[in-house]
Structure 1
Amino acid sequence: MPTYHIEMMEGRTVEQKKKLVEEITRVSVEILGGSPESVDILITDVKRENWATGGKLWLERTS
């Protein structure tokens, strides 16, 4: 079964991450078969100072 690597800017709550992994797992099992226990998900929180888009750090951007 799959292993998902998710990189996103820090700031999401544990509840948001919990819902995300539940839904990714549910859809994976629905489409690919297998059991939920065979789906691995790794979440990496990245600080805004370590993420850039268009030549600008997200730390420098206004929300």
Structure 2
Amino acid sequence: MPEIVVYAVEGRSAEQKKKLMVKITEAVVDTFGVDKDRVVVSVVETKAADKSRGGVLYSER
């Protein structure tokens, strides 16, 4: 059972996340040759104030 975890800063709509999950599922099905019901995709969101790049918080960008 392939399981894919996407880490992202919060702020995307439910529709955007669903679209991403569907496309990732399709890619795994096409690449690994597994049934789509075996593919698990999770989106883990982080608050912008709790994530940084280069020492700068995403909330400050």
TM-score w.r.t. length of structure 2: 0.93
Scaled by the length of structure 1, the TM-score of the pair is 0.90
User: Which amino acid in structure 1 is aligned with residue 11 of structure 2?
Assistant: G
Report the alpha carbon displacement of residue 2 of structure 1 after superposing the two structures with TM: 1.2
| Structure 2 unaligned spans of 5+ | none
For the aligned residue pairs, the C-alpha RMSD in angstroms reads 0.8
- Identity across the alignment (%): 36
Q: Using the alignment, how far apart are the partners of 2:14 and 2:35 within structure 1?
A: 23
What does residue 19 of structure 2 align with? 19
Alignment deviations for residues 6-50 of structure 1 (CA, whole Å, 9 cap, x no partner): 110111011101110000000100111010010011111111001
Q: Return structure 1 stretches of 4+ with deviation > 4 angstroms.
A: none
CA–CA separation in structure 1 for the residues paired with 2:22 and 2:58:
28
- Tell me the SS of whatever aligns to 2:44: strand
Gaps of 5+ in 1: none
